[in-house]
């Protein structure tokens, strides 16, 4: 299992990790790439990486759906981050062809930080 480390810089951040994933996959062969992040307050998403306003809008929408300042039972103060993490999910499957991620033209892979800044891990496995 390959691993990528991502140091996020703020509490909430959509970090484009497409190039980090591609670099980790250098010399790998297979048909599918499985990505998994072993954390409870971040997530993984695929969406547009051409216009940064798209990820900004997605983050805004998540903040409207799950506001930070709400009365939650979880007393650690980061209940919103756990919920947003559950909404985005912790894993992705991406087609892999000819040694390259077979993403769509406008797609990128994002680590969604909801309770940073922290150092996050993303495990990467190539399935044959
Ligand atoms: Zn917590």
pLDDT in tens, 18-47: 999 999 999 999 999 999 999 999 999 999
Average pLDDT over residues 102-119: 98
DSSP letters of the chain? -EEEEEE--SSSEEEE-HHHHHHHTTT---SEEEEE---SSEEEEEEE-S-HHHHHHHHHHHHHHS-SSS--S-TTS-HHHHHHHHHH-SEEEEEEETTEE---TTEEEEEEESS-S-EEEEEEEEE-
Given a cut of 90, is residue 1 above it in pLDDT?
A: no
pLDDT in tens, 81-93: 999 999 999 999 9
CA 40 to ligand 1 center in whole angstroms: 8
pLDDT, averaged across the chain: 97
> What's the pLDDT score for residue 45?
98
Whether pTM > 0.75 for this model: the answer is yes
CA 89 to ligand 1 center in whole angstroms: 16
């Amino acid at each position: 299992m390959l691993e990528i480390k991502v140091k996020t810089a703020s509490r909430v951040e959509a970090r484009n990790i497409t190039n980090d994933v591609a670099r980790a996959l250098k010399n790998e062969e297979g048909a599918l790439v499985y990505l998994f992040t072993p954390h409870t307050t971040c997530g993984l998403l695929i969406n547009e990486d051409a216009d940064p306003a798209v990820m900004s809008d997605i983050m805004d929408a998540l903040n409207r759906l799950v506001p930070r300042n709400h009365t939650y039972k979880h007393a650690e103060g980061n209940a919103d981050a756990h919920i947003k993490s559950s909404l985005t999910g912790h894993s992705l499957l991406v087609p892999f062809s000819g040694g390259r991620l077979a993403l769509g033209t406008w797609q990128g892979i994002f680590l969604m930080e909801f309770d940073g800044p922290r150092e996050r891990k993303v495990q990467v496995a190539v399935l044959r």
